[in-house]
Amino acid sequence: MAPSKADFTLLLQLHEKDLSLDDMRRRISQVPEDVAAIQTEIDDEKTKLESVHAKSNEVQAKKKDLETTVAQKEASIKKHEGDLNQVKANDAYKALLKEIEDAKVVIEELETEILELMEVADEVSKEEKGIKSEIEGFTKEREGHIKELETKKTELEAELAKGEELRKGALESVPSELATLYEKTRERRKGIAVSRLHDKSCGECRVMATPQALLDVAKGSKIVMCDSCQRILLPGEKKETEKEAAA
């Protein structure tokens, strides 16, 4: 039995449902990618903080090393000062005094460097606190976005489940021969089984339809396939159809 215009109307409704469902599936599948991208942004910001924190640790470690060296020099001076009372030879006495003076010079230089490091440490500490505060706000905002995406994904999945149930009914309303052709074509043509005419051309591949094909589509009494992309041809939107008829 040849399909009727009403059958093609049902087919078009099925096609539109499938387009909507496919769009939902794309949006659902996009969520994990969007979440991963946001998480990467968060991780990148945390890396900045880790870098500043590492710099802070480096400054503190260097300061500690210098302080240890100062303590060692001070201990050496104290020992040499004690040795002065034991030395009898003038040359040995002078040598100890020189070592004490040299150690004091080194201590002065080290203490200057320690003061400079303390200033650097203060600057790094302020920078670290500032970045930490920024990251906390940034992370909170981005994690809120992730939560919104995951909530939307859950809503879409529920909507998709309902839509798939309605789709079963829509498919069953289409005559079996036409429904089978539609499903096979949809599988072969990347989910798009139907193409509406536009300016007398296939709306999907833009190849001009033959005059006979245009006539058969307008009558709606037989299945017409696009000669180029092998999709089921249906009339264009109402305004477009009226425009072509006037032409």
The pLDDT assigned to 145 comes to 96
Q: Is the pLDDT of residue 6 over 80?
A: yes
| pLDDT tier for residue 87 given thresholds of 50, 70 and 90 | confident
Q: What pLDDT is attached to residue 1? A: 62
> For the chain, which residues make up each domain, given as ranges?
16-173, 176-246
pLDDT digit string, tens, across residues 121-137:
999 999 999 998 999 99
Render pLDDT for 156-193 as a digit per residue (tens, 0 to 9). 999 999 999 999 999 999 999 999 999 999 999 999 99
Task: Flag whether pLDDT at 4 surpasses 80.
Answer: yes
Q: How far apart are CA 231 and CA 218, in angstroms?
A: 16
Q: What average pLDDT score do residues 194-218 get? A: 96
The CATH T-level fold of domain 16-173 is Helix Hairpins (1.10.287)
- Tell me the average pLDDT across 32-42: 95
Residues 6+ apart with CB under 8 A from 79: none
Q: What is the DSSP string of the chain?
A: ----HHHHHHHHHHHHHHHHHHHHHHHHHHHHHHHHHHHHHHHHHHHHHHHHHHHHHHHHHHHHHHHHHHHHHHHHHHHHHHHHTT--SHHHHHHHHHHHHHHHHHHHHHHHHHHHHHHHHHHHHHHHHHHHHHHHHHHHHHHHHHHHHHHHHHHHHHHHHHHHHHHHHHHHHS-HHHHHHHHHHHHHTTT--EEEEETTEETTT-PBPPHHHHHHHHHTSS--B-TTT-PEEE---HHHHHHHHH-
The pLDDT tens digits of the residues spanning 211-238 come to: 999 999 999 989 999 999 999 999 998 6
Tokens representing residue 233 in the block: 């041809």
**DSSP per-residue letters across 119-164:** HHHHHHHHHHHHHHHHHHHHHHHHHHHHHHHHHHHHHHHHHHHHHH
Model confidence at 242: pLDDT above 70: no
The whole-chain average pLDDT of the chain stands at 92
